[in-house]
Amino acid sequence: MIRHLRDTYARRRGEELSVESGFTLIELLIVIVVLGILAATVIFALSGVTSQSASAACNSDAKTYEVAVAAYENAPQNASNSPATTTKDLLNGIGTSGPLLHAAANNTAYIVALGGDTVTNNSTKVNNTTASTKLPTGATPDAVYVGKPGSTLVKYDTQGTNTGCNTPNL
């Protein structure tokens, strides 16, 4: 477009047209600006996806823990119907039933634990990894707790609006 205008003005003045190939500086700058705008739009659109996926994974893992706790409590080998109180109970299973949880939740964005998991020096020991994460005071042993590493875990609540997995920056 710019070249066309330049050639048109050159013809009007009677100047000889130059045979140049390539792009002008203005054309290159326009392309760079358009690409920058497109890149900014894509980055802005994808910025919330990681926190949404972490929240979904947290909800899924916490729900898996809840189902495993219920299965432990209702297993035929558990005559007293005592609930599982630690992640280790779920990983070991009851008698010959095998594990009710095949792997403890292992994610850097959140921690899922049972209220009876070992707490030593205000650290929760989950999956043989110690994080500076606290269980709340008076935690129910068979309840599922979730939260960010380095924070106090909250009770997972499937009925309420705050499951614990939808905390900011999870």
Please tell me whether residues 145 and 107 are part of one structural domain: yes
Total domains, the chain: 2
Please tell me whether residues 107 and 126 are part of one structural domain: yes
**Beta-bridge partner residues of 77:** none
Amino acid at site 36: G
**Is 2 within 8 Å of 24 (Cβ atoms)?**
yes
Would residue 162 count as lying in a domain?
A: no
> Residue holding tokens 């996806």?
49
The per-residue pLDDT for range 6-46, each reduced to its tens digit, is: 777 777 777 666 666 678 899 999 999 999 999 999 988 88
Please tell me whether residues 67 and 151 are part of one structural domain: yes
Please tell me whether residues 92 and 31 are part of one structural domain: no
Q: Which of 83, 65, 124, 87 is nearest to 136 (CA)?
A: 124
Please tell me whether residues 117 and 33 are part of one structural domain: no
Please tell me which residue, 56 or 166, carries the higher pLDDT value: 56
| Average pLDDT for 52-75 | 85
At 27 the pLDDT is 92
Spatial CB neighbours of 39, under 8 Å, sequence gap ≥ 6: none
Would residue 161 count as lying in a domain?
A: no
Please tell me whether residues 37 and 95 are part of one structural domain: no
| Average pLDDT for 86-113 | 77
At 122 the pLDDT is 40
Task: Return d(Cα 65, Cα 156) in angstroms, integer.
Answer: 10
Q: What are phi and psi of 17, to 5 degrees?
A: -80, 135
Domain region containing 122: 51-155
At 89 the pLDDT is 82
| Average pLDDT for 63-91 | 83
Going by their DSSP bridges, the two strands 119-120 and 123-126 should be labelled as antiparallel
Please tell me whether residues 117 and 76 are part of one structural domain: yes
pTM, full prediction: 0.62
Q: How many other CB atoms are found less than 10 A from the CB of residue 14?
A: 6
pLDDT band at 123 (very low <50, low <70, confident <90, very high): very low
Handedness of CA 159, 160, 163, 169 (dihedral sign): positive
Q: Which of 120, 105, 110, 117 is nearest to 150 (CA)?
A: 110
Average pLDDT of the chain is 76
Would residue 166 count as lying in a domain?
A: no
Please tell me whether residues 95 and 140 are part of one structural domain: yes
Weakest-pLDDT range from 15-24, 52-61, 83-92: 15-24
Please tell me whether residues 36 and 89 are part of one structural domain: no
> Residue holding tokens 């999870």?
170
At 132 the pLDDT is 61
